[in-house]
Amino acid sequence: MQVTRLSLGSVVLLFSLSACTLFPFFRQADGDGAVSPEGNSSARAVLELQNMEFDGESLSGRLLVGVKEGSLTLDKRLVENVSVELKSIVDCVAHQPIDFLEVDSFPEPPRRDELLTLTPGYWYGTDVHFSLFDEHLTGKQPPECFEAELQLRAENGSVPGRLHVRAERSARPSSPLDGGVPGP
C-alpha cells in the first residue's frame, strides 16, 4: 500500500515539475517583469531560406536572418521548434492542413556568448533541419509539396520575422545504371 502511494506521489511530482516547462507562458523574467509570449519588440527581421531541400521527410536549408529596422537580439543556436518554427503547413495542391511531426526541444537558456544583437545591414545564418513526416511512424504518405510559414522567435519572445515557404520533394537519386553488378 505504501509503495502505491509513493508511486502516485512520484507521478504527481513529476507531472507538476514537467508541466511548468511545457507551457509557453512560463518564461524567465527579465528586470522589467515577465516577458509576454509575443514580446514587444519593434524590430523587423528579414528571413531567407537558401539551398532548401525537402526529401519527403525533412526540410533543411541555410536560414539567413537580417534586420530591416530596429535591433534584434536572438539566440545564435536558432534551435528548431524553439527559435525557428514551421507553422500552418498545408498541401500545395489541396490547400488543406497536413498532419506533421513537431519535435519538442528543451534547450538550456542561452549563455551570454550565444546571444547576438543584429542591426540593419548585418546578417546571421545557420543550417536548419526540420523532421516533419515519417510514413513508418504515422502510416501516412508524406506530401510531394507543402507550403508553410517559417517564424523566427527573438530572445525576448517576440516574432519579428515570418517567411512563406513552398517546399517540393527533391528528385530522388537515380540508381546506378549497372544495377550494382560488376562490369566484364
Q: What is the mean pLDDT of the segment spanning 57-67?
A: 96
Distance CA 160, CA 149 (A): 13
CB distance 86 to 165 below 8 Å: yes
Question: What cell was used for 59?
Answer: 526540410
Q: Where are the domains of the chain?
A: 39-168
Question: CA triplet 148, 42, 151: central angle to 5 degrees?
Answer: 15
* Amino acid of residue 179: G
Give the neighbor-by-neighbor strand order of the sheet with 145-152: 84-91, 145-152, 161-168
Specify the fold of 39-168: Immunoglobulin-like (2.60.40)
Kindly indicate the confidence band of residue 142, based on its pLDDT and cuts at 50, 70 and 90. very high
pLDDT in tens, 8-37: 344 333 333 334 333 333 223 233 322 333
pLDDT averaged over the chain?
A: 78
Question: What cell was used for 12?
Answer: 504527481
Q: Bridge-partner residues for 64, per DSSP? A: 48, 125
Higher pLDDT, 177 or 18: 177
Kindly indicate the confidence band of residue 111, based on its pLDDT and cuts at 50, 70 and 90. very high
pTM (two decimals)? 0.69
Nearest to 65 by CA among 149, 146, 154: 154
pLDDT at 60 over 90: yes
